Structure 1
Amino acid sequence: MTRAVLTWVLERLERGESVAMASVIEASGSVPGKPGSRLALTLSGARFGTIGGAGLELKVENALKEMLNGGRQEVREKGGKVETFVLYKDAKGEEATPLDSLCGGRVTVAMEVMDPM
């Protein structure tokens, strides 16, 4: 994790805000988000970083917001979730979440929520 992302997350946690974070843990093909890319956000709308932009980032951002809002409590109780996305034109359902994209590849993203102590 880069120092900048970690510092940003710690500052929010110290203020009493919960933070949701997504981390690209695996990528193959022509995709913008490379392993180690991170996106963190809070319920107030503050955000830091990127996991590659476009449809992938929007889909992941919506999942993080849902987790922050208490949705899918079982996911939070498990410590988060890992989801694989396939990115290519006219993507259809596979063993991964399809995203209609001009890119061509797969991205696996870990998502978690951190609550202040």
Structure 2
Amino acid sequence: MFPVLTNKAMKLRIEEAVAVLKEPWSPVEIGWFNDQVIRLALFRGEYHWHIHEREDEAFLVHNGKLTIQLRDRENIVLHAGEMGVVPKGTEHCPKCEKDTYVLMIEPATLQSEGDR
């Protein structure tokens, strides 16, 4: 397994964490700082539409291409090395055509499946 980053001075090679991910849409926690968590997940196909009522959610694409579908505005399309934020209260649905590894930086209280 790989080390989980904490408030100690340390580093993590993202590729080590990517290597152990096999299940799509099952994020693993790879780091913590302040009251935030960094989660890494394999995205495959399309997730479900959901909303986070109280928290913003940041997505950083490690490799691949991610489309974050939004109901009330233009979709966010992210390529490797690009980052986007979905504001709290925004209904969204992540989707990708090929396997894509994504880092999510979010409050530790955020439920990945959404509040509704």
Which TM-score applies when normalising by structure 2?
A: 0.26
Larger strand percent: 2
Larger helix percent: 1
Which TM-score applies when normalising by structure 1?
A: 0.26
